[in-house]
Amino acid sequence: MMSLAATRTPLKPLEDALNALLAFAVPLGTSEMVSTFDADGRVLAADVVAALDVPAHDNSSMDGYAVCSSDWLNASTLLQVNQRIAAGSSGTALTPRSAARIFTGAPIPDGADAVVMQEDCTAAQDDSICIAAAPRVGQWIRRRGEDVRSGRTVLYKGELLAPESIGLAASIGFDELCVASPVRVALFSTGDELVMPGDVPPADMKPGAIYNSNRFFLRALLQRLGCTVTDLGIVPDKLEATKAALAHASGLHDLVLTSGGVSVGEEDHIKPAVQALGQLNLWQIAIKPGKPFAYGKVGQAHFIGLPGNPVSSFVTFLLLVRPFIRKLQGATHLAPECVAASAHFNWPRADNRREFLRVRRNAAGGLDLFDNQSSGVLTSAVWADGLVDNPPGQTIVHGDVVQFMPFSSLMS
């Protein structure tokens, strides 16, 4: 007789699971025009090409005086100030031994090749100035096109737009940008033990009942990624109810995301429901927290099932669902930031799975560890500001260099 251990599905390394998952994620290819004001966090669906130089003309980077450097002979040289040029206006060509009062952003007049800060000038009689030291050619001048040249692609299709990039788009005249359409996601939880906050006061909770936290943070994470979320609530632990929810959601959405019910217990109905309506890959991933993970298709919709423990669901979303959604949007950069940092803790309990430890940066630049790393302790994720990616079988001694993944990069 074959032993139970011999029939278990081998644990899949995270890289293999991620590569397999991303292979299914064909970009949706739909796009829309949005105001540049509203483009933060969206994925660019078309290159942004400049139609002008930035700056459009040589201009002053300081308040001061535009001069011709060869007019300066010594500190006693008098230059006659015969014009005033503000940003948005233009001046006339300098005459010999003259200067133009100029302000930041104003165009450099013909004949001038330097700007002298007002602090380095002394006012003399009859609207003239003296300059203490010889001006250098080009000082305090921003050259035409030094930021952007006309015809240059400044932002590329697949980039995740950030405040600085939408500012750059605006600087070359784009009031609208072509971005990937939102991924339409249906979200629901399974579990008769789940209760919505507000439905039952804490004092009246039945034994075994828990408030549904996963629904809240998963919805927030999806919205941070720019998804359009349909919240289908809590589905009862019944096969027909699960099938009905899946059938309804798959016809209207690009992705159906669930938490709970992806193990192999008698009350876990996700697996048979998805298999009845479509196809399913059920993976046991070699990570901690997290292990059970499901991917499949129901009709044309993708299906992803996350584990029910809150930290497991949170971490697997960050590591697997986030890059999957970004690829559906056409994003070209999917890997999160990972930086070397010093562990200011000991981790003597090596595990055969790859561990993602909840940590927080301290004032000394090192990483502190949350005391309780259980997959049910959501407090650890609130306290932390990132994860340590700890390889299988690896212990950590205070002072070791570890790989740190900030939440800021895992949630964008």
Q: Which CATH architecture group holds 59-142?
A: Beta Complex (2.170)
Cβ atoms of 319 and 18 within 8 Å: the answer is yes
As a whole number of angstroms, the distance between CA 258 and CA 270 comes to 9
Res. 55 pLDDT band, cuts 50 70 90: very high
Is residue 265's pLDDT more than 60? no
Tokens of residue 383, six digits: 């306290």
Across the chain, what does the average pLDDT equal? 92
Res. 84 pLDDT band, cuts 50 70 90: very high
Please give the CATH topology (third level) of the domain spanning 31-52+158-180.
Molybdopterin biosynthesis moea protein, domain 2 (3.90.105)
Cβ atoms of 181 and 42 within 8 Å: the answer is no
CATH superfamily of this structure's domain 8-30+182-328:
MoaB/Mog-like domain (3.40.980.10)
Cβ atoms of 111 and 68 within 8 Å: the answer is yes
The CB-based long-range contact list for 378-381 (8 Å cut-off, 24+ gap) reads: 378/213, 378/217, 378/310, 378/311, 378/314, 380/311, 381/310, 381/311, 381/314
pLDDT at 289: 95
The type of residue at 233 is G
Tokens of residue 218, six digits: 């998963």
The answer to whether the bond into 135 is cis (omega within 30° of 0) is no
Domain limits of the chain?
Answer: 8-30+182-328, 31-52+158-180, 59-142, 339-410
φ, ψ at 204 (rounded to 5°)? -105, 5
Give me the mean pLDDT over the 237-265 stretch. Answer: 85
Res. 261 pLDDT band, cuts 50 70 90: low
Closest by Cα among 10, 53, 118, 21 to 334: 21
Give me the mean pLDDT over the 201-218 stretch. Answer: 87
β partners of residue 129: 79, 123
Is residue 7's pLDDT more than 80? no
As a whole number of angstroms, the distance between CA 242 and CA 324 comes to 23
E-strand ranges in 227-278 read 228-235, 255-259
Classified as helix, coil or strand, 280 is strand
Tokens of residue 85, six digits: 């040029």
pLDDT at 4: 41
Is residue 133's pLDDT more than 60? yes
Is residue 266's pLDDT more than 50? no
Q: pLDDT tens-digit profile of 332-379?
A: 999 999 999 999 999 999 999 999 999 999 999 999 999 999 999 999
Assign domain 339-410 one CATH number from 2.40.340.10, 3.30.830.10, 1.20.1340.10, 3.40.630.30: 2.40.340.10
Is residue 203's pLDDT more than 80? yes
pTM as predicted: 0.87
pLDDT at 193: 82
Which residues have a Cβ under 8 Å from the Cβ of 267 and sit 6 or more positions away?
A: 192, 237, 261
pLDDT at 150: 97
Q: pLDDT tens-digit profile of 134-187?
A: 999 999 999 999 999 999 999 999 999 999 999 999 999 999 999 999 999 999
